[in-house]
Amino acid sequence: MLIKKPADIKSSEITDYADFKQRRYFIKQAALLGIGAGLGSLPLQSAAKNTDSRSRPLKPLLKTSYGQGLKQTSYDDITSYNNFYEFGTGKSDPADAAHNLKTRPWNIVVEGECEAPGEIGIEEILSGFVQEERIYRLRCVEAWAMVVPWVGFSLGDLLKRFKPTSRAKYVMFETLFDPDQMPGQLRNTLDWPYTEGLRMDEAMHPLALLSTGLYGEELPNQNGAPVRLVIPWKYGFKSIKSIVKIRFTETMPKTTWWQMQPKEYGFYANVNPQVDHPRWSQKKHRNIGEGIFSGKHETLMFNGYADEVAGLYKGMDLSKYF
């Protein structure tokens, strides 16, 4: 996501990514050669930490056919280039700062228009649902994408346990608010806590994933541990991280980005190459990790998942409900 003043707009996302990789390469080389003085110790430590410490394995895993044939983005790229404003607005801030997030114990409160409101803990989420591997492309609104072997299960399987009533037309999600652990929340970059929402039929769609891991391991904190959404046909900002609350609602919830910049970020946020962001085109994207000379790729309607999800939006004007 970008919150940019007009003066900054010319700096394109690809430049950001190339600079980012170059800087990280330099930091790593410097660390290898033992030159640290001029760089400051913090980035050196975290560069080493991010590549060395992997998360706990997540088993058993049911492999699925989702995404077979897509070229996967490397673990290093997926876990070092992140958007997680709770830890800062820079792409490397989450990898540098998110190790302080305590993900045990962790509970999700489920409330609102449902017959069986309550709480569910992360241990029960990990043991009570069959964890599948699904390779999904995540397409960020900033015109980059990555392909991730996510671990998780259909969001609807969890939602059903709480017995939403017929008044539940939408479902809202909330990220943890704890500035002690999430230093980005000390600043007003967003209206905390981060919230997202889906229409009920979108949330119940089997493709909508509640994710607990990636590459066969528990989610790294910077990717939204211990549990996050992955909605593969929508722009990345809908895929809310580190969820602590779910609420069924009758009316459309006011979600963070939509509320803040309604002309730029809609509630639906379906990936749609026909509808440009007011400040840049959505027709193409870069794949993270492919290198700056590899060129752009055509973005597909609903991020390539049109066969599965187009029916949810039949009869809707998608340039109005973007």
CA distance 297 to 318: 22
- The answer to whether residue 253 forms part of the interface with Mo ion (CB under 5 A) is no
144-154 and 209-214: which strand pairing? antiparallel
CA distance 140 to 127: 30
Say which entry of Mo ion, ligand MTE, none residue 93 contacts (CB below 5 to 8 A, set by partner kind): none
107-112 and 243-249: which strand pairing? parallel
Which of residues 110, 114, 138, 140 is near Mo ion by CB under 5 A? 140
Cis peptide before 149 (omega within 30 of 0): no
- The answer to whether residue 140 forms part of the interface with ligand MTE (CB under 6 A) is yes
Residue 199: exposed, middle, or buried by beta-carbon count in 10 A (0-12, 13-18, 19+)? Answer: middle
When the beta carbons of 170 and 265 are compared against ligand MTE, the nearer one is: 265
Touching ligand MTE, residues 98-137 (CB under 6 A): none
- The answer to whether residue 288 forms part of the interface with Mo ion (CB under 5 A) is no
Q: Give the distance from CA 190 to its chain's centroid.
A: 16
Range in contact with Mo ion (rule: CB under 5 A) among 94-102, 141-149, 159-167, 292-300: 141-149
The secondary structure element, H or E, covering residue 217 is strand 217-218
The distance of closest approach from Cβ of residue 94 to Mo ion in the complex, given in angstroms and rounded to an integer, is 12
144-154 and 284-287: which strand pairing? parallel
CA distance 156 to 204: 4
Which of residues 73, 80, 83, 181 is near ligand MTE by CB under 6 A? 83
Q: How many Cα atoms sit within 13 Å of 255 on the Cβ side?
A: 26
The DSSP secondary-structure symbol of 280 reads B
Which of residues 223, 272, 287, 299 is near ligand MTE by CB under 6 A? 223
Stretch 81-120: interaction string toward Mo ion, x if CB under 5 A: --x-------------------------------------
Which of residues 73, 181, 221, 239 is near ligand MTE by CB under 6 A? 239
CA distance 35 to 29: 9
Touching Mo ion, residues 24-83 (CB under 5 A): 83
- The answer to whether residue 240 forms part of the interface with ligand MTE (CB under 6 A) is yes
When the beta carbons of 191 and 276 are compared against ligand MTE, the nearer one is: 191
When the beta carbons of 131 and 175 are compared against ligand MTE, the nearer one is: 175
Touching ligand MTE, residues 155-194 (CB under 6 A): 175, 194
CA distance 249 to 226: 24
Cis peptide before 105 (omega within 30 of 0): yes
Q: How far apart are the first and last CA of the chain?
A: 16
Range in contact with ligand MTE (rule: CB under 6 A) among 57-65, 68-76, 129-137, 237-245: 237-245
- The answer to whether residue 236 forms part of the interface with Mo ion (CB under 5 A) is yes
Residue 154: exposed, middle, or buried by beta-carbon count in 10 A (0-12, 13-18, 19+)? Answer: buried
Range in contact with Mo ion (rule: CB under 5 A) among 22-30, 33-41, 211-219, 236-244: 236-244
Which of residues 237, 267, 305, 322 is near Mo ion by CB under 5 A? 237
Residues at the interface with Mo ion (CB under 5 A): 1, 83, 140-141, 236-237
Residues at the interface with ligand MTE (CB under 6 A): 1, 82-86, 138, 140, 175, 194, 223-224, 236-237, 239-242
